Amino acid sequence: MASSKVAVVTGGNKGIGFEIVKGLCKKFDGVVYLTARDISRGVGAVSKLQELGLKPKFHQLDITDQKSLNNFKKYLQENYGGLDVLVNNAAIAYKVDATEPFAEQAKNTIAVNYFSLLATCHTLFPLLRPHARVVNLSSSYGHLSRIPGQKLRDKLSSSSLTEEQLSGLMNAFVKSVEEGNHQAEGWPNSCYQVSKVGVSALTFIQQRAFNSDPRQDIVVNAVHPGYVQTDMSSNKGDLTPEQGADAAIYLALLPANIEAPRGAYIWWDRRIVDWVNKPDDLSL
């Protein structure tokens, strides 16, 4: 069993995550784990895929709970000895008409979408084997042009930006929201946008680290899945969840030693998009 390749999808019980699991079950040469915070929903999702003749496995994983992350890491280590594909899909988004105070929304959104994804990476990256592939689900809202302030854009796009500095910026956004001056400091009035810009920027930092990692050819990319019909979009959108999963599946299965995409920002149709300069042909 330890020789089997392993793929993991976080937040895989519905929407795009579910479709990514489905696609990997069809195309990945190894074991595919659908993970979810809620055991009953996760098991139910696996049952739906089994009815289609697919064979995913389930493991409970709450990315906001370090104990859950540690338990999953131990399970993978003991049963497989490593990890070959990690798709960081789990995320939250408040509805436009949400009644929670904006400061609460900002704190929770950054905590889940950025810091919990970061914790997942810190926990599971040591398991990555040579030629492993990591996919971070970003968004069109994760493009740098979503940040109004030029000074912030300069910091976020710096090739010397560190993970610690990026985390500091994410915390600074939450603090500025609490103090009521986030827009004056150059942030948008959207905690989801900031969280996904953080995910995109983190991806570039991670690839720079992988480039000097002794493990050969580990690649991480950020992907905008498109405007997809899911619970998160209130079932609006131009794409089906299956279409929204396509680019993530493509990135998860990139062949060995590919030159590009590598540490890139990818559009739903698999195009590499300039993250710093707003492209003319994309409705960002």
For residue 265, indicate whether it is catalytic: no
Decide: 131 and 256 in contact? Cβ < 8 Å. yes
The three-state DSSP-derived secondary structure of 67-82 is HHHHHHHHHHHHHHCC
Tokens 């996760």, located at residue:
42
Decide: 43 and 37 in contact? Cβ < 8 Å. no
For the residues of 139-187, what is the DSSP string, one character each?
A: -GGGSGGG---HHHHHHHT-TT--HHHHHHHHHHHHHHHHHT-TTTTT-
Measure the CA–CA gap between 218 and 210, rounded to whole angstroms: 6
Instruction: Point out the catalytic residue in the list 33, 94, 192, 265.
Output: 192
Classify residue 10 by its DSSP letter.
Answer: T
Give the residue numbers marked as catalytic. 192
